[in-house]
Amino acid sequence: MTAKKKPEELRSFGWFGPDTLRGFSHRSRMLQLGFQREDFIGKPVIAIINTWSEINPCHAHLRERAEAVKRGVWQAGGFPVEVPTITITETYMKPSPMMYRNMLAMDTEEALRSLPIDAAVLMGGCDKTTPALLMGAISANIPAIYLPAGPMLRGNWDGKILGSGTDVWKFWADRCAGVVSDEEWKGVEIGIARSPGFCMTMGTASTMTALTEAFGMTLPGASSIPAADSNHVRLAMDSGRRAVEMAWEDLKPSDIFTPAAFRNAITVDMAIGGSTNAIIHLVALARRCGLDLPLTRFDEISPNVPVLANIRPSGEYLMEDFYYAGGLRALMAEIRDLLDLNCITVNGKTIGQNLEGAVVLNRDVIRERSKPLMETGGTVILFGSLAPDGAVIKSVAADRRLWTHTGPAVVFKDFEDMEARVNNDDLEVDENSVLVLQNAGPLGAPGMPEWGLLPIPKKILKRGIRDMVRISDSRMSGTAYGTCVLHVAPESYAGGPLAFVRDGDLITLDIPNRKLDLLVPEAEMAKRRAAWVQPVEKDPRGYLALYREHVSQANQGCDFDFLQAVTTSAEKI
Ligand code: FES
C-alpha cells in the first residue's frame, strides 16, 4: 500500500479534527454513540452503503455481510459506519424498478458527499442496484469498492436444475400450453429460489456484477462467489480492509472508470452473453464520467468477441457452475488479448496482474476460444426506419430461424391492451406475425419495465411454437430468451416511428445486417405522424414528476439530464 494521505488530510478530519464549535459538535455526537475519540479522529471513515431490506430477498444476507465488512475495516485501522439507502428489489417494485435506479444513485451520491466519509464499500447486486451504486460513487468520486451480493445457489426441483427467470418463462409457456400440472408448477415455485443472493442465471444482476469486476471495481474474482459460500464472508471482510487502504491511497472511481476500462467491460459483456439491460447501464455510467458511448460502439466491439460463458439463458449452466469452473477471472484470462491489461483496479493492481494464475477448470462451462457458444458477441444493435436512434436484441438468445424475418405487425397500444387481447381466439395472428407493444418505454410505461418478452398467444403455444419476433420500446429481463427487439428509440410515447405502426404493416428484422425496418411508404408515415396525438399523463406528482421531466431515452442511458457529468471528455471509449 502506498499511503498518499496524512491523517489530517483525510476528508473526515474536516469534520472531526478542528478545534471549533462545529468540530466539538461532530465529536460529541460520535462520543454519544459510545466511541472513543481515538476510534474515529484521523482514521479513515468507511461508509458501508447497505441496500439490505426485508423486502429484498436478493440482499437478505447483507446485514450479516455488513458485520464482516466492519470486521475488516476495524482490523485495517479504519472506522466503519453502516449507511442504509433505499433498496431496489426487482421482483416487487412497480411500475418498474428501473424508475428507481436514478433515485438510488442520487441517494448514494448525496450520502457519500454529505457525510464525513473517506471511502465506501458499496453492497448490492439485484439488477438496478449495481449500476445505481456505481453511478452514485462515480459522481461523488470518493474511493469506493464494490461488494457484489453474489448469486444464489442453483435451483432444484424433482432432481432438475432450475435457473432464475429462464426456467420460469419456460415452465410458464409449458403450463399455458397445458403440459405442466398445477402440482409441478408449485414444485418449481418452491425450488427455484432456495438461498440468499441474486438471480443465478446470466441475467442483469450477474451481468452487471461481472462488468463491475471487469471495470476493476471489485476484488479479483468477487463477482462469481455465490452468496451462501463462506468465501463470500471472507470477501466482505477483505473488501472492508481494502477500503481503508484505498482511503489512504486516494484511489478514486475517476482513476478506474477510464475509456479503456469501459472497452474492457463491453468486451466482457459480449463474452459472457450479458443482459441487454447492461447496454443502458453502461451508457449511463459513461455519461456520469463525461464520456460518450454511442450504441454503435457495442457493435464495433462485439464482432471480435466470442461468447464463452455457457450460462442460461443463452447456454446451459448457472452461476454456481461458473464459480466452480474458475469464475470471471478464468473467463477474462481466456480473452486476455482482447482486454487492456494496464487498467488499474481497486486492489491497486492492474487487470493483467489480477488475471495471473487464473485457469479454467471446466471447459464446458467456460468454453475455449476455438469452441465458443457463439462466434461473435451475444448482443446486437439494430438501426432502421423503425428505430432511428437504435434498438437492441440479444441475438444469442433468439431463435436462429428468426434472425432474418419479415412479417405483418400485430399491434398492442399498451400493456393493458396486450393483456386483454393477446390470448383472444379471434386475434389475427400466426407464427409469422410480428408482435408489437407500444408505450412501454422510459416515459410511456413509465419506467421502461421488463415487458419486452411479449407473451406468445396461447393458440400459437398450443401448436408447439415457442418463439416469435417481438418488438417494443421496453426492456426484457436478462434471464429471458426469445427473438425480442428491445429499447426501440425514440420510444413511441415520445413520437418515435413505433407509435405509428398499425396492424398488418410489414416489419423486417435483419440481425446479420443490423436492420429493423417498418415497410410503410414515407408519404403514409407523414400522414400518420400528422394525425398522432400523444397519450395524456394524469397529473404526475412527486418522484414521478421529476422522473418524467428529466429522464433520457434508452440510447442515452435513461439517466436524469442533471445527473450526467457537466463537462464531456474528448477521450473516446
Ligand atoms: Fe434480484 Fe433477479 S430478482 S437479481
pLDDT given at position 34: 97
Q: Which residue's CA is the closest to the ligand 1 atom numbered 2?
A: 199
Write the single-letter amino acid at 35.
F
Q: What is the DSSP string of 202-249?
A: SSHHHHHHHHHHHHT-S-TTGGGS-TTSHHHHHHHHHHHHHHHHHHHH
Average pLDDT over residues 209-233: 98
Instruction: Please give all residues whose beta carbon lies within 6 A of any atom in ligand 1, as ranges.
Output: 58, 90-91, 126-127, 164, 198-199, 203, 205
pLDDT-based confidence at residue 437 (cuts at 50, 70, 90): very high
Round to whole Å and give the CA distance between 395 and 381: 10
Max Cα-Cα span within the chain: 79
pLDDT at 466 over 80: yes
Q: Nearest to residue 200, comparing CAs of 230, 226, 173?
A: 226
Q: Which residue's CA is the closest to the ligand 1 atom numbered 3?
A: 90
Average pLDDT over residues 455-464: 92
pLDDT tens per residue across span 158-180: 999 999 988 888 888 889 888 89
pLDDT tens per residue across span 188-207: 999 999 999 999 999 999 99
Average pLDDT over residues 254-263: 98
pLDDT tens per residue across span 508-538: 999 999 999 999 999 999 999 999 998 887 7
pLDDT given at position 529: 96
Question: pLDDT exceeding 70 applies to what percent of the chain?
Answer: 100
The Å distance, Cα 152 to ligand 1 centre, comes to 10
pLDDT given at position 570: 79
Three-class secondary structure of residue 504 per DSSP: coil
pLDDT given at position 480: 82
pLDDT tens per residue across span 470-514: 999 999 988 888 999 999 999 999 999 999 999 999 999 999 999
pLDDT at 567 over 90: no
The grid coordinates listed for 85 are 439507502
pLDDT tens per residue across span 267-312: 999 999 999 999 999 999 999 999 999 999 999 999 999 999 999 9
> What integer best gives the mean pLDDT of the chain?
95
pLDDT tens per residue across span 383-396: 999 999 999 999 88
Q: Which ligand 1 atom lies nearest to the CA of residue 89?
A: 1
pLDDT given at position 121: 98
pLDDT at 414 over 70: yes
Average pLDDT over residues 17-29: 98
| Cis peptide upstream of residue 372 (ω within 30 degrees of 0) | no
Q: What is the 3-state secondary structure of 168-199? A: HHHHHHHHHCCCCCHHHHHHHHHHCCCCCCEC
pLDDT tens per residue across span 335-345: 999 999 999 99
pLDDT tens per residue across span 241-256: 999 999 999 999 999 9
Count Cα neighbours of 61 within 13 Å in the Cβ-side half-sphere.
24
pLDDT at 1 over 70: no
pLDDT-based confidence at residue 31 (cuts at 50, 70, 90): very high
pLDDT given at position 314: 86
Q: Which ligand 1 atom lies nearest to the CA of residue 57?
A: 1
pLDDT given at position 69: 98
pLDDT-based confidence at residue 16 (cuts at 50, 70, 90): very high
Q: Which ligand 1 atom lies nearest to the CA of residue 477?
A: 2
The Å distance, Cα 158 to ligand 1 centre, comes to 23
**Beta bridge partners of residue 122, listed in sequence order:** 49, 146
Q: Which of 126, 167, 223 to mutate to test the pocket of ligand 1 (most atoms within 8 A of CB)?
A: 126
Tell me if 293 sits within 8 A of 269, measured CB to CB.
no
Q: Which residue's CA is the closest to the ligand 1 atom numbered 1?
A: 126
Q: Which ligand 1 atom lies nearest to the CA of residue 125?
A: 4
Radius of gyration (Cα) for the chain, nearest Å?
Answer: 24
The Å distance, Cα 475 to ligand 1 centre, comes to 15
pLDDT at 455 over 90: yes
pLDDT given at position 352: 98
Tell me if 103 sits within 8 A of 86, measured CB to CB.
yes
pLDDT at 266 over 80: yes
Question: pLDDT exceeding 90 applies to what percent of the chain?
Answer: 90
